[in-house]
Amino acid sequence: MRKAIYPGSFDPITNGHIDIIKRAVKLFDAVIIAIAQPRHKKPLFSLEERIYLARESLKNISNIEIMSFDGLLVEFCRKLNIDIVIRGIRAVSDLDYEFQIAWMNRKLYSNIETIFLMPSEEYFFLSSSLVKEVAMLKGNIDNLVPKVVKEALIKKLNLG
Ligand code: ADP
């Protein structure tokens, strides 16, 4: 059984993440959505909230499992005995950073392969941070996140 891990902070999950997950489940028997603490910033949503929003948003996709992890991704991969990491690549701006991470993960665990997937073009520039910013300014995010995420953002940002 071929399994892959799709790690990220998912703060919150967007249609861009979901697009990548739908592509990944076509390639693997199972995809673990691994939710971590963001590395450089305090998340808007708690870990439990991010897991809940991911679970609700991915209800219709089979062959996925949602987990959380702390610390090094490669250690989590080792623990689960999985050596394939999925990452999404948006515009070229992602490339440099994503290559650094993939390179370091390979240094730390030589068996790891990182697979980069490209989203549908409507999500080329979509990020969780941009969604949060637009939501805060009361912009329309209907086509950018699932309904449950939109509602959670409105509640969290006291926009109701
Ligand atoms: P991180 O905090 O590790 O950057 P994110 O939750 O922001 O994690 O994203 C997880 C992964 O999903 C990253 O590989 C990121 O590039 C990718 N990703 C996020 N949004 C999109 C999108 N709109 N299209 C394609 N990939 C995306």
Summarize pLDDT for 66-122 with one digit per residue, the tens. Answer: 999 999 999 999 999 999 999 999 988 889 999 999 999 999 999 999 999 999 999
d(CA 14, CA 36): 15
Q: Which of 15, 17, 120 to mutate to test the pocket of ligand 1 (most atoms within 8 A of CB)?
A: 17
**Cβ of 54 less than 6 Å from ligand 1:** no
Least confident of 27-41, 43-57, 76-90: 27-41
CB 68 within 8 A of CB 51: yes
Domain residues for 56?
3-156
pTM of the full predicted structure?
0.96
Give me the mean pLDDT over the 116-137 stretch: 96
SS3 156: helix
Token pair, residue 126, equals: 């979509």
Identify the CATH number of the domain in which residue 125 sits. 3.40.50.620
**Cβ of 12 less than 6 Å from ligand 1:** no
SS3 100: helix
Whether 158 shows a pLDDT value over 90: the answer reads: no
- Cα 111 to Cα 10, 82, 108, 123, 129: the distances in Å are 25, 9, 9, 30, 32
Token pair, residue 21, equals: 């997950």
pLDDT at 38: 77
Count of domains in the chain? 1
